[in-house]
Each structure stands twice: as structure tokens, then as C-alpha cells.
Amino acid sequence: MINLFRLTSFRLIFIYTILLVISVFLIAFYLHLSTSRDLKNRVDEDTIKESKMLISVYQRGGVNRLARSIAQLSQIPNANLYALRNNKNDIIAGNFNDKESLWNLKRLDDGWVSFSSIRNQESINQSLPPKEKFFRGKEFILQGSYNLIIGRDVSNEVYLWKRFLTNIISATFFVLILGLFGGYVLSRNILNRISAINRTSIEIMDGDLSQRLPVGLIDDELNQLSANLNLMLDRLNKLMIGMKDVSDNIAHDLRTPLNKIRTNLEVTLMSNPTSENYKNSIQEVIQDIDIVINTFNSLLAISRVESGSLSLDKEKIDINKMLENVIDLWEPLAEEREIILINQCDQDVQLEGNRNLLSQAISNLIDNAIKYGPNGNKINVGAKLEKDNVILWISDNGPGIPDSDKERVLERFTRLDISRNTQGTGLGLSLVNSSIKFHKGSISLLDSNPNGLIVKLELPKIN
């Protein structure tokens, strides 16, 4: 047996059922109270009117006239109840004859009296056992020691109230049972679905990342939650695969320079070296190790930018000035290869961002364009405003990137065949990519006509 109270759904339904019962009870009670009070007031008014009339009859005609009037009134169907008593408590007129019941009549706070009787039956149906009847009335003391009681049969109301109480209690009981049962059924349903989610989660935790949570046909909260968790798992899985690729690549990329270092040192040792040989070898080794360190530094830089663990300052950057600066850095190298670097930037293009990261991104892109393009290449670098975005571009007429590789080159350690023989870490474009992500922009690689690559960066003006 499951502990139902541990389930949120059951607890909620239970609390709601209780609240519903209480409010139904209150509403019914209030309705009953207000209607019965109205009815009572009307009856009381009638009684008072009649009493005034009878008292004036008595004052004018004495007790005999009063007795006659009472007798007449008693004839009317649904008549009130009359009991005229003398000072010996004998009933001398009226339609009420149970004199014992009048000995213990109750005087109410509002000046009225109430009494009950099982004997005063003018019953139509004698076969039924006599039922206690309840009366409400007013007592008048007449001069000459007569006592007049005018009353009304209120048995119906009393019985109605009793029935109302039993009914409301049984109804409450019924609603409670129904609510608890409904809660149980509904919770069972939700519980089953949650158990399925729990089971799958445990399987996933045990290492089977291919498992997905069950998603039903109905678009409700639970299914939405499952679908979102599934999307999250997809993303995690992709990241895991990415991580694995990256670590494989790190291992591969670091093995190459380390092998080279090892070979270099071995050869130096074998060849009966002079101190000059040693010095040269050591210097070469230092250079090779620098490559390894560079790779690590770039990797760290990328992951810092991507994880957002870096609290980077943002400032207003004059893009034209920034491009001038980067071009200035690369121009001598470009000129050596007869490559022309052209700045096509519009004036007054400004962007809120991190100057260092953006400069590095542009620098990496220019580096690539120079590295992979032919001598005599022409590289255009530019920027313009387009609505709320700054469009930055670097175009060349080098070999370009085939469509099939365009997505891949942004990933870490991707090196295309064309770049096998040039020096590089395969991290340059990844760093551009993460820097653009940091600025909440997008990067697209387009073909230039007739050949070459256009790298287009779209960055929001204000981050």
C-alpha cells in the first residue's frame, strides 16, 4: 500500500475536499437560517394581529364573547392554536386540549413560548402512531385571571431542521468518500507516471544515457516536463560526445609535438654532442613545448569564455579603430606575402563588448586568411551598422571552405586537409566562435565569388 499522503496530488485533493465540505455546510446552514427566520417573523406577525383582535373582543364582551370568537376562529382550516385557561389552569375554550403539556411550557428569550404535545392530535390518519408536535406561541394574561395562549404548529420546521442536519452530515460523509476516492484514483495515475520517470532517471544515472523519459500524447505539465528533460538530456549527451572528442583530440594533438621533442632529444644524445649542439636542441625543444603550452592556453581561454566563468569588462568599442589596430598588427606579415589588407569599415560603428576578445577574434580570422590564402591575396575587413546589429566581415579570395566542412571548422581541433602542413592548433576558429557567442552574436561562413571565404559576424550593438 502506498502512503497516499506523501503524494502532493493526493494531499491537494484531500485539502480541497475538506474545504469544499466546510463551505457547502456553511452555505446550506446560512440559507436555512435566513429562510426559517423570515417564515417565523411572518407567522409571529399574524399571531400578534389575532391576539390584538381577541383582546379587544374580551375587553368589549367579556370571557363568553371571547370563547365564542375563539370557537369561530378554530373552525377556519389551518387555524391557529388557541387555549384559554381560567385561574385553575383548566382549558375553557380553544382547540388545544392537552393541558399537561401547557404546565411545562418553555418561556423563550424573545418573549414567546414553546411547548410540545403528542396528544393534541386532530389527525387525519389515525393509523399512524402519534407523533410529537411542536408549537410556538404567545401568552396573554387577561384581566379577571384568564390566560390566553395563541400558538402555531411549527412541527414541520422543527422536523425540517432535524432532517437538514442528518442530510448535511450524510452528504458531507458522501462528498468526503468521493473526494478521497477521486484523489486516490487521480494520484494513482500521476504516481504511475512519476514512477515511470523515476525508473528512467535511475537507468540514466546508472549510465545508460540513451534512455529517454516517456512522453504521452496529451500536452500537459508532466509531459512537457518530460519533453524538456529529454531535450536537456540530448544536449548533455551532445556535450559529452563533444567533450570526448575534445579529449581525444587533445591526446592526439599533444602526442605529435611530444614525440617530436623526444626524437629531438634522443638524436642529440646519440650524436656525441658538443655543448653547442645541446644548446640548439634545447632551444628547439623549448619552441616545441611552447606550441604545447599555446594549445593549452587557447583551450583554457575558449572554455573560460564559453563557461562564462570570466567576468569580462564590456566597454564601448569604436570598431573602425579596433580594425585599424588589428590590421596594423598583421600588415607587415601580409606585405611579405604581397597580400593586401583593406579596411572597409564605415565611420561611427560602435559596439558594446570586450575589446580584447573581439580583437583576438578578428586577429585569428585575418591570421587564417593570410595563412591559407595564396600570395597576392586580397583581404577585405569591414563593418557596418544594420538596425541594432553590427555586421563585421572578413573576406578573401583564398581556397574557401567546402559546404560540408563549414559547421565542423568551428569545433575545437578541426583541421582541414588544406591546413595539415601549416602550423596551427585547430583552435583559432573555435575561439572566434566562443567570442561571438560571448557577445550573443552569430557567425556565418559564406562563399565568395568566384572563390574564397567570407566570414560574416553579426553582433548586437548593445549586450
Under the rule (CB under 8 A), what is the footprint of another protein?
Answer: 283, 286-287, 290, 293-294, 297-298, 301, 304, 310-313, 325, 328-330, 332-333, 336, 356, 359-360, 363-364, 367, 370-371, 423-425, 428
Residues in Cβ contact with 401 at an 8 Å cutoff, skipping those fewer than 6 apart:
409, 416, 445, 453
Select from 177, 121, 107, 112 the least CA-distant residue to 150: 112
> Could you tell me whether strands 106-107 and 113-117 are parallel, antiparallel, or unpaired per DSSP bridges?
antiparallel
Nearer to another protein, 230 or 359 (CB): 359
Q: Compute the least distance from the CB of residue 242 to another protein, in Å.
A: 22
In this structure, which amino acid lies at residue 265?
A: L
For the bound state, the minimum distance from the C-beta of residue 196 to another protein, rounded and expressed in Å, comes to 46
Instruction: Using DSSP, state whether 314 is helix, strand or coil.
Output: coil
Q: How far is the CB of 441 from another protein (least distance, A)?
A: 19
Three-point CA angle 247, 253, 254, nearest 5°:
90
Q: How many CB atoms lie within 10 A of CB 417?
A: 7
| C-beta of 233 vs 319, nearer to another protein | 319
Q: How far is the CB of 7 from another protein (least distance, A)?
A: 49
The DSSP secondary structure of 53-93, one letter per residue, reads HHHHHHHHHHHHHHHHHHHHHHHSTT--EEEEE-TT--EEE
Cβ atoms within 10 Å of 171's Cβ, excluding its own? 14
Question: Residue 297 CB, nearest distance to another protein (Å)?
Answer: 7
Cα 426 to Cα 249: distance, rounded to the nearest angstrom: 10
Nearer of residues 297 and 463 to another protein, judged by Cβ? 297
From the list 351, 432, 442, 355, the residue with the least C-alpha distance to 388 is 351
Positive or negative, the CA dihedral 166, 169, 174, 175 is positive
If the CB atoms of residues 363 and 433 are measured against another protein, the closer one turns out to be: 363
Burial bucket for residue 358 (CB in 10 Å: 0-12, 13-18, 19+)? buried
**Distance from C-alpha of 445 to C-alpha of 405, rounded to nearest angstrom:** 10
Minimum distance, C-beta of residue 451 to another protein, in the bound complex (Å): 23
**Residue bearing cell 446552514:** 29
Q: How far is the CB of 330 from another protein (least distance, A)?
A: 6
Q: Express the helix, strand and coil content of the chain in percent, nearest 5 each.
A: 55, 15, 25
What is the closest distance, in whole angstroms, from the C-beta atom of residue 267 to another protein in the complex? 19
What's the min distance (Å) between Cβ of 326 and another protein? 9
Which residue's CB is nearer to another protein, number 8 or number 422? 422
Taking the complex as a whole, how short is the minimal distance between the CB of residue 360 and another protein, in angstroms? 4
Supply angle C-alpha 426, 428, 400, rounded to 5.
Answer: 80
Q: CB-wise, 194 or 285, nearer to another protein?
A: 285
Residue closer to another protein, measured from CB, 51 or 425: 425
